[in-house]
């Protein structure tokens, strides 16, 4: 039976890049993990083993480092745009290039009560993310966000009124710990990209807006709080039209202290990672 290539793309993943930008009185530090994916006219590479249109993935890795050396980009989005343009400009056989970057958090050390200009401390497991793509002759598409932002609230959270059947063991509560490792992404509008924006500033504002909504919201469910956080982000700016959010419910289980003759009025818990509830949704501007 004859076969036909339906779709394909290829590239380089997990390219680790650390960049030190040296100013006169301080250094800035970026740690990025870069992925490049190319789509295009690569059919004969699959069907005939003809590599004449294949840019080696090792060359892509080298391009990441070489372009970073002279890049003036201060955000990973702007660097990704440079990388996409470079690859499309040199490879007419490529119809679309996509660059995905994750940024690891480093915080400046505080020494003698002041930020130290050239020393850093690894932050949390939170990563900042972006996916930048462009087809030949078209505009950029940019989806940015954050992942594994771990937050917890010890008040203003409950869960009642849900379905109960013969398999239900979960008791209702109006006082529970609510912990999650948030993933959120948003796509910038074409007008915002064309106008030019400070991607780091926007991400910081959206992050703080969603964190504030999480802290202040009187939560009746993870779903309700997720919606409130996304709604707050959309109300904050008009340069995004929708927000995707995933919020696993990281359970903290109340410990039964009765065998020890003790009460446990929501003071002692066992934090668990697995299994956990998974709640995700996309909230779009009405």
57 as an active site residue: the answer is yes
Q: 191: pLDDT confidence band, cut at 50, 70 and 90?
A: very high
Is 216 inside any structural domain?
yes
* pLDDT per residue as tens digits for the range 220-232: 999 999 999 999 9
The answer to whether residues 30 and 131 belong to one domain is yes
Q: 273: pLDDT confidence band, cut at 50, 70 and 90?
A: confident
Give the CA angle between residues 123, 201, 122 to the nearest 5°.
Answer: 10
201 φ/ψ angles, rounded to the nearest 5 degrees: -65, -45
pLDDT greater than 80 at residue 6: yes
Query: What is the C-alpha to C-alpha distance for residues 208 and 156, in angstroms, rounded to an integer?
Result: 19
Catalytic residue from among 61, 81, 183, 251: 251
The answer to whether residues 111 and 159 belong to one domain is no
Last residue of a domain, one of 92, 109, 139: 139
Q: How far apart are the first and last CA of the chain?
A: 49
Last residue of a domain, one of 139, 171, 195: 139
CA atoms within 13 A on the CB side of 118: 6
61 as an active site residue: the answer is no
Rounded mean pLDDT of the chain? 96
Mean per-residue pLDDT, 80-88: 98
Quick one: pLDDT at residue 206? 98
Quick one: pLDDT at residue 121? 96
Q: 2: pLDDT confidence band, cut at 50, 70 and 90?
A: confident
Is 4 inside any structural domain?
no
Quick one: pLDDT at residue 109? 96
Do 206 and 236 touch, CB atoms closer than 8 A? Answer: yes
| Sign of the alpha-carbon torsion through 189, 190, 195, 201 | positive
Burial class (CB in 10 A: 0-12, 13-18, 19+), 247: buried
What CATH number corresponds to the domain at position 25?
A: 3.10.270.10
Domain that includes residue 28, residue range = 10-139
Catalytic residue from among 33, 44, 57, 209: 57
| Sign of the alpha-carbon torsion through 160, 166, 167, 170 | positive
The answer to whether residues 204 and 123 belong to one domain is no
pTM of the model: 0.92
Comparing CA positions, the residue from 91, 177, 210, 192 lying closest to residue 140 is 192
Last residue of a domain, one of 139, 167, 189: 139
The answer to whether residues 154 and 135 belong to one domain is no
Is 103 inside any structural domain?
yes
Quick one: pLDDT at residue 17? 97
158 φ/ψ angles, rounded to the nearest 5 degrees: -150, 175
Is 272 inside any structural domain?
yes
Quick one: pLDDT at residue 181? 97
Q: How many domains does the chain have?
A: 2
153 as an active site residue: the answer is no
């Amino acid at each position: 039976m004859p076969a036909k290539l339906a779709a394909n793309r290829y590239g380089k993943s997990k390219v680790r890049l650390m960049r030190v930008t040296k100013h006169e009185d301080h250094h800035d530090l970026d740690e990025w993990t870069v992925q490049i994916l190319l789509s295009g006219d690569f059919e004969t590479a699959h069907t005939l083993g003809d590599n004449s249109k294949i840019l080696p993935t090792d060359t892509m890795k080298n391009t990441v480092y070489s372009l970073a050396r002279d890049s003036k980009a201060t955000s990973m989005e702007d660097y990704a745009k440079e990388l996409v343009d470079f690859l499309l400009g040199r490879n007419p056989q490529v119809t679309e290039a996509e660059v995905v970057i994750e940024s690891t958090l480093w915080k400046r050390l505080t020494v003698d009560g002041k930020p130290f200009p050239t020393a850093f401390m690894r932050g949390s497991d939170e990563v900042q993310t972006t996916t930048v793509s462009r087809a030949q002759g078209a505009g950029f598409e940019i989806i940015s966000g954050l992942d594994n932002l771990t937050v917890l609230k010890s008040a203003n959270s409950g869960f009642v009124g849900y379905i109960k059947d013969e398999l239900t063991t979960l008791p209702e509560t109006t006082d529970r710990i609510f912990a999650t490792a948030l993933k959120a992404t948003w796509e910038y509008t074409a007008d915002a990209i064309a106008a030019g924006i400070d991607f780091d500033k926007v991400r910081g504002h959206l992050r703080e807006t969603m964190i504030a909504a999480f802290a202040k919201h009187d939560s009746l469910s993870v779903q309700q709080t997720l919606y409130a956080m996304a709604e707050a982000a959309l109300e904050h700016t008009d340069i995004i039209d929708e927000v995707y959010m995933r919020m696993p419910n990281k359970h903290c289980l109340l410990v039964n202290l009765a065998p020890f003759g003790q009460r446990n009025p929501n003071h002692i818990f066992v934090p668990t990672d697995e299994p956990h509830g998974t709640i995700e949704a996309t909230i779009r501007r009405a």
